[in-house]
């Protein structure tokens, strides 16, 4: 199933990460196609977050190739990678608590990022409309001028997804987006991610198998830092190796 057609957006080949002798990733290979929605599941310690760290430049791989289009991500820093068009939502929603919802989104909005550009920045009508549009989309329109620190956990998840949308990235890495959400919110999120994919590639890490099923996408199962199985949700759920890992041996 690897490879597929022509030019993957994201290309990981033989990636290993070693912390003090512990192999967090072990010869991992992964390809994501343009416009693809991909779910990644796996037990705790499978290396899901480390994989995200490697792609976004937070952790350097011990060996292996990591490419986004033709860019070698192992040589770039976080900011440069983000500016190439890779957005990330963290497992624990992180945003700027002292700033308002509006300001958080404004910071995420795709615009020149240098200090002088920021000093000269003027909020245009177009930018304001874009921010307001995203606020509606993630259901935070009424809370535009509340500080992010006072939002509930679910709302924080939404705000972070909103920030991701503001960045207008080509590839979205979404780490456990529905943790702490109600069933209704979970459904809404699944629909949103499906809608976003197509125009861009989305990689979702999740524990919630119902949610993954709702995404209806190809699923990759990670275990002990390496790929265990790949295919449709039904395919991986019937894979005996996956069953063994999840249910114990």
Partner 1 sequence: MTLRFVLLGALLVLAVMPALNRLPADSALHVSDFLISITGKWITYAILALAIDLAWGYAGILSLGHGAFFTLGGYAIGMHLMRLIGTRGVYGHPTLPDFMVFLGYKELPWYWLGFDSFPYALFMAMAVPGLLALVVGYLAFRSRITGVYLSIITQAMTYALMLAFFRNDMGFGGNNGFTDFKELLGMSLNTANARAVLFYASLVLLVVAFFLCTRVAQSKLGRVLVAIRDAESRVRFLGYDVTQHKLFVFVLSAVLAGLAGALYVPQVGIINPGEFSPGNSIEAVIWVAVGGRGTLVGAVLGAFSVNALKTWLTTVAPDLWLFALGGLFVAVTLFLPRGLIGLFSKAKS
Partner 2 sequence: MTALILRIALLLLLALPARAQDAFIAALPGLAGGFSDIAASVDRLGALGDPRALPLLRALQEGKLQKTPDGRLLLPEGAGTADAVTGQPADVAGAEAVRLNNRVRQALRGALGRLQLVSPDPAQRGAAAEAIFRGRSAEDVPLLQAAIAREQIPAVRAKMELALAAAQLVAPDEAAKRDAIARLGAAGSVEARALLIEARTANPSLAAAIDVSIATIEKQLQIRRMAETLFQGLSLGSVLLLAALGLAVTFGVMGVINMAHGEFVMLGAYATFVVQELCRGTSWLVPWALPLAVPAAFLVTAAAGALLERGLIRHLYGRPLETLLMTFGVGMILQQAVRVAFGAQNREVLSPSWMQGTLTLPGGVAVTQNRLWIIFFGLAVLAMVFAAIRLTRFGLEMRAVVQNRRIAATMGIRTGRVDAMTFAFGSGLAGLAGVALSQIDNVSPNLGTGYIIDSFMVVVFGGVGSLAGTLVGALTLGVVNKMLEPWAGAVLAKVFVLVAIMLFIQRRPKGIFALKGRAAES
Query: Which residues of this chain interact with partner 1, rule CB under 8 A?
Result: 56, 58, 77-80, 82-83, 87-88, 90, 94-99, 103, 106-108, 113-116, 118-121, 163, 167
Interface region with partner 2, contact rule CB under 8 A, candidates 16-24, 143-151, 200-208, 211-219: 16-24
Binding status of residue 22 toward partner 2 by CB under 8 A:
yes
Measured over the CA atoms of residue 183, residue 185, residue 190 and residue 191, the dihedral's sign is positive
Cβ distance to partner 2 smaller for residue 74 or 100: 74
- Of residues 126 through 165, those in contact with partner 2 by CB under 8 A are none
Q: Does residue 20 bind partner 2 (CB under 8 A)?
A: yes
Pick what 83 binds: partner 1, partner 2, none; C-beta below 5 to 8 Å, kind-dependent.
partner 1
Instruction: Name residue 219's beta-bridge partners.
Output: 39, 231
Smallest gap from residue 106 Cβ to partner 2 (A): 27
- Pick from partner 2, partner 1, none: which does 144 bind, CB < 5 to 8 A by kind? none
Please state at what angle helix 101-108 crosses helix 153-167, rounded to 10 degrees: 30
Tell whether the torsion through CA atoms of 25, 29, 35 and 39 is positive or negative.
negative
Q: Which span (14-22, 104-112, 197-205, 231-239) binds partner 2, by CB under 8 A? A: 14-22
**Nearest to partner 1 of 127, 194 (CB atom):** 127
Of the pair 19, 121, the CB lying nearest partner 2 is at 19
Q: Which of partner 2, partner 1, none has residue 132 at its interface (CB below 5 to 8 Å by kind)?
A: none
Per CB under 8 A, which region of 4-12, 17-25, 168-176, 187-195 contacts partner 2? 17-25
Contact status, residue 202 vs residue 196, Cβ threshold 8 Å: yes
Choose from partner 2, partner 1, none: what does 8 bind? Cβ within 5-8 Å by kind: none
From the list partner 1, partner 2, none, which binds 22 (C-beta under 5 to 8 Å, kind-based)?
A: partner 2
Nearer Cβ to partner 1 (97/244): 97
* Interacting residue ranges for partner 2, rule: CB under 8 A: 19-20, 22
């Amino acid at each position: 199933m690897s490879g597929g057609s022509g030019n993957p957006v994201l290309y990981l080949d033989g990636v290993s990460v070693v912390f003090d002798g512990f192999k967090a990733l072990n010869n991992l290979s992964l390809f994501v196609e343009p416009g693809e929605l991909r779910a990644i599941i796996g037990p705790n310690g499978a290396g899901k977050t480390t994989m995200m760290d490697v792609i976004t430049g937070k952790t350097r791989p011990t060996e292996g190739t990591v490419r986004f289009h033709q860019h070698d991500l192992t040589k770039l820093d976080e900011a440069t990678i983000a500016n190439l068009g890779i957005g990330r939502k963290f497992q624990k929603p992180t945003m700027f608590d002292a700033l308002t919802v509006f300001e958080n989104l404004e910071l995420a909005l795709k615009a020149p990022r240098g200090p002088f550009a920021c000093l000269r920045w003027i909020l245009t009508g177009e930018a304001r409309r874009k921010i307001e549009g995203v606020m509606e989309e993630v259901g935070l329109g009424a809370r535009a001028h509340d500080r992010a620190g006072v939002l509930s956990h679910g709302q924080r998840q939404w705000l972070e997804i909103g920030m991701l949308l503001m960045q207008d990235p080509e590839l979205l890495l979404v780490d456990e987006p529905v943790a702490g959400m109600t069933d209704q919110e979970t459904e809404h999120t699944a629909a949103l991610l499906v809608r976003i994919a197509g125009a861009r590639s989305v990689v979702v890490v999740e524990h919630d198998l119902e949610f993954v099923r709702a995404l209806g996408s190809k699923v990759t199962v990670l275990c002990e830092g390496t790929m265990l199985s790949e295919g449709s949700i039904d395919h991986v759920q019937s894979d005996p190796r996956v069953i063994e890992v999840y249910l114990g041996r």
